[in-house]
Structure 1
């Protein structure tokens, strides 16, 4: 691994079970049921049962990843669609206005599609060490694989996922660990940007995501319309940070990686 990449990845390997932030409370991760009214609207509108298919959970996760990637264009200069922060509105706005939306919008859409199919999912904001000066962060998804018993990385901006040398999909914490310890990580060969330009492992993993795995932030309540104005309660944002580091833009910080990647209840 180059010295430049190693510098990005100098993150302490030991974490303590601390969660600290606004007041004292026990944080729990929640995932909306697929019977939720907003998720039901998206599932029926887009026939997500058919899109996900009836294979194993990995194939269903990948099918939904590719569907969002192929149907909502990415444009990093554009934020959220006007109106509700949900899959239906983002999809319709992209077509109506012939535009794309940023990585956060796409990741939220993929998380909603996964949740609608009964697959627990989170969107994950991946931030660099210099988060206060380097605004080039990235937002991806993780989906819970029952067959693997863990979270897996899925990025709708690039139709990307990452595996080990045996082809087993990884989550961001595992990717970070393997990069720190010079263990192989494999980028899917069909990853691309907007079906126009291929994306390389060297650019995506060795540079772009290597620098953006320093702070990882998620929402505690994973649902349709997880941000912005909505008729339901919103979750808190919690960031996984290295020992001795505070990310002040999140409601809560934790140094406990095991807690952060806990299985859905």
Structure 2
């Protein structure tokens, strides 16, 4: 009797399984590759149909958004909820069934991704050019210092107070507008002028450009740093300044967009690499209390550092030559950059690339390194 009941349950289970598979939605395809629209992201030819997997699972963290599989013959969509486990069949060439599933999975936090990117190669000795800083005696920088009255803005206090006074000033006079186009003339005087004449703002890159030239004009060594996420295809990054403090003998973090700098538990100013290491190791970080966006939204350590900058401290890129008009397009100009990548960075090679824009005749050279000591080298000239 017991064996009959077991056999009956066995048949019921497989009958239900067969029925459920018959009721699964089906889309048709000829090509084995298909596109996926995940929320606002369109991934062309990103999915390989794999009948040998049962099911082949696509995981998404796009809660509340729609995910669509698009074949060369058909498409199917589902709105993602926390319990989404959407099964369907892709019928390949009207004969082969590929059981597929779209499943919700909470995204790994950006801080967790950054923690996995802690390792560098301090022995990486591949060539990168020496970083240089234009002299404050350069006529263009002298004009910036005079026309913008930087001496009165910086004040007569310590070097640190001058660095912070210039930071606060740029943040105060320029409205951040991340969606704005970059003006043709990318130097401090012209960027400030166009903001006044057109009543417009600038993105973070242009704000950091202004502040960089102001520091150079005052004889303070500075570079601007493009802070990027792990992905090579992204729609958001952030640009800040690294400023060399002769007082502390190190680089310090300066962000004109958010009027921000960062300290340790002793109130000591920290550099970008120090902030990155402390985020990874869970050490104390203190954001200056006046940090804000456009004098409206106060910034917190939890959002600004542990979320937004944790995303953007994965990869770092900077111009080799810190100078006036670095990125203003001029015929025959050459601009060189160095990118610092952790060992698990996606695109480690080629180590050097060169390209020339056929319209502007501007040549761009890019180098990569895994060695922070080279990237954060103290200024020598």
- Counterpart selection for 2:376 from 248, 261, 264: 261
- The Cα of 1:230 is off from its aligned counterpart by 4.2
Q: In the alignment, does 2:327 pair up with 1:212?
A: no
TM-score, length of structure 1 as denominator length: 0.91
Residues 60 and 231 of structure 1: is their aligned pair in 2 closer, same or farther, counting only changes over 3 Å? farther
Structure 2 residue runs of 5 or longer lacking an equivalent are: 1-107, 354-364
Q: In the alignment, does 2:68 pair up with 1:68?
A: no
Larger RCO (CA under 8 A, 6+ residues apart): 1
Q: In the alignment, does 2:119 pair up with 1:13?
A: yes
- Counterpart selection for 2:225 from 124, 132, 147: 124
2:366 aligns with 251
1:80 aligns with 182
2:141 aligns with 39
- The Cα of 1:95 is off from its aligned counterpart by 0.7
Structure 1 residue runs of 5 or longer lacking an equivalent are: none
Residues 100 and 19 of structure 1: is their aligned pair in 2 closer, same or farther, counting only changes over 3 Å? farther
Number of paired residues?
Answer: 257
Q: In the alignment, does 2:285 pair up with 1:185?
A: yes
Superposed, 1:94-173 pairs within 5 Å as 94-132=195-233, 134-173=234-273
**Higher relative strand content:** 2
- The Cα of 1:19 is off from its aligned counterpart by 5.7
- The Cα of 1:233 is off from its aligned counterpart by 5.4
Contact 2:117 2:344 in 1 (8 A): no
Task: Give, in whole Å, the separation in 2 of the partners of 1:156 and 1:102.
Answer: 10
Task: Give, in whole Å, the separation in 2 of the partners of 1:211 and 1:244.
Answer: 15
1:227 aligns with 327
- The Cα of 1:34 is off from its aligned counterpart by 0.6
Task: Give, in whole Å, the separation in 1 of the partners of 2:287 and 2:333.
Answer: 37
RMSD: 1.9
Contact 1:80 1:90 in 2 (8 A): no
Contact 1:240 1:260 in 2 (8 A): yes
Task: Give, in whole Å, the separation in 2 of the partners of 1:91 and 1:206.
Answer: 31
Task: Give, in whole Å, the separation in 2 of the partners of 1:115 and 1:264.
Answer: 12
Task: Give, in whole Å, the separation in 2 of the partners of 1:106 and 1:62.
Answer: 15
**In structure 2, the residue corresponding to 1:236 is in which secondary structure?**
strand
TM-score, length of structure 2 as denominator length: 0.64
Deviations 1:207-261 (A, max 9, x none): 0000110100011100111113248954411000012533678700011101111
- The Cα of 1:171 is off from its aligned counterpart by 1.2
Task: Give, in whole Å, the separation in 2 of the partners of 1:56 and 1:235.
Answer: 33
**In structure 2, the residue corresponding to 1:252 is in which secondary structure?**
strand
